[in-house]
Every structure is written in C-alpha cells, then in structure tokens.
Amino acid sequence: MFSTLTLVISVLIAIGVGAAAAWKFAESSQKLELYRSESLQANDHSHYVDVLRRELANHLIRHDSARFLSSYRERHFELNKYKDRPKVALKAELLTLTEKFPLLQDFDIVGVRPHVLYEDAFSWQSLDDILEHYWSICRLKKLYSLLYEHWKYVDVTSTEDLAHCEEYVKRLEDARFAKRLDQAVDTYYRLRETPFDFFENDTVSVSPISHFAELRWGIHFKDTKEYGIRTMYVFDDPDRNPSVHYFRSDHRFENEKSIDTSLKEYV
C-alpha cells in the first residue's frame, strides 16, 4: 500500500513538474516571439523614417550641398552629446516631438503621388524648412535609440558617414565647377569677337592659354572668385572624341589641381 501511494504521489509530482516546465517553456517562447515581433516592428519603422530622410537629403544636397554638409557637422556633434543627457530630459524632448508628429507618417512632408517629381513636390517649401524637418527625423531616431531596447543598435550619424558626406560634397562641387567651365567656354565661342581673343562680361572672363598640343582656356568666375583651366586635346582620328580635362587654378593660371568629374552628368 505504501509503495503504491508513493508511486502515485511520485507520478503526480512528475506530472506537476512537467506541466510547470511546459508552462514556463510556453511562457518563455511567447515572450521570445513577442520580443522578435517588437524587434522586427522597430526595424521596419527605422527603415521607413530612413526612406523619408533620404528623400529630403537628396533634395538638400542637390540644391545646397555646402549647407547640408555644414549642418551635418554641427548636428553630428550635437546628437553625440545626447547619450550624456538624463533620460528624463530625453523623454521630455521625445514627448514634444511626438506631440508635433503623433504618427510616423506625419513625418512625410513630401506626401505626393509616386509619379510626381520631387522638384515639384518640394517647390512650395524652403530649404531651411526641409533641412529642419530632416533633423527632426534624425532627432526622433536618436531619442528612440537611447530610450527603447529594440532601437539601441540604430544610429543616425557617424564619423564614417560624415567623412563620406564630406568626400561626396567635394565631388559634387567639382562636378558643378566643371560644368561651369564648359558653360564659360561655350559662352566664349558664342560671343568672342575674334579667334583667340580675350573675353569678359559681368560674371566671367576667359583667356586663351598658349600650349603646344592642346586648346586651353583660363577662366575666372567673378561671383565666386574661382579660377579654373579647361583643356581639350583633338585627336588626328576623326572618330575619336576630343579629350577634355578640368583643373582648379590660381589667378595667373599657373597651378593645376585636377578635379573629379565623375558626377558631372548628374548635376
């Protein structure tokens, strides 16, 4: 009798322990699934606001790359200091931001049909307003990364990204400068009075530079006080396009600093 009772009790205990373990496992699995779901949701939201700020950044860097870069340098330093602020201050700033933009889609200031040109969509907004809105989105991401578990690996700016932005803006400025050199030479050929003559108007002056093999022009842009040289080598083979090169220079057109024209067709 004692042995039978002991066996029954042992079985009941085993069943109870097994049930408890099963319940704990189910609860743990449910928590893990919830954690994964929240992580995926945070990831989706992060990508959504990244798309929004990419739309803004592309417009800003096209129209005023120098201002965008200057702003990036300033805000990168500013956002880096958020990690040293108390959480109560971060939560207060996030509350202010979310009161202004209750839903993530409220950050979409483009808000047009997919086929509408960005130039048209942004035409009614100033660059200052677009730039400020861009950094509002960045502030949101930074605050989330410091306050919420599932956003902790998200960041907005970085030293590496800033270095890339600086290099890219330089390439954009070089490309725009090369296009201005092209336009100056075109103007020279349209308006010059005699071949190899010096040309000048209110915005630019063009001076032909003697060279044994190339056609060369020294160009001064009066509005930006920049100097450049455009060269062209014409091959004997009529099927080959002329070789054109661009340089930044000094007021005597003695120094030559080659510029990057890889983005020239996009500006």
Tell me which of 6-15, 153-162, 192-201 is least confident.
Answer: 6-15
Are 174 and 259 within 8 A, CB to CB?
yes
Condensed to tens digits (0 to 9), the pLDDT of residues 66-96 reads 999 999 999 999 999 999 999 999 999 999 9
User: Residues 124-144: pLDDT tens digits?
Assistant: 999 999 999 999 999 999 999
Burial class (CB within 10 angstroms; exposed 0-12, middle 13-18, buried 19+) of 267: middle
Q: What is the pLDDT of residues 192-227, one digit of tens each?
A: 877 768 899 999 999 999 998 999 999 999 999 999
Question: What is residue 114's predicted lDDT score, i.e. its pLDDT?
Answer: 87
Smallest CA-to-CA distance from 188 within 170, 164, 205 is with 205
Distances (CA, A) of 160 to 15, 29, 48, 73, 165: 58, 39, 22, 12, 9
pTM of the model: 0.82
The full length of the chain comes to: 267
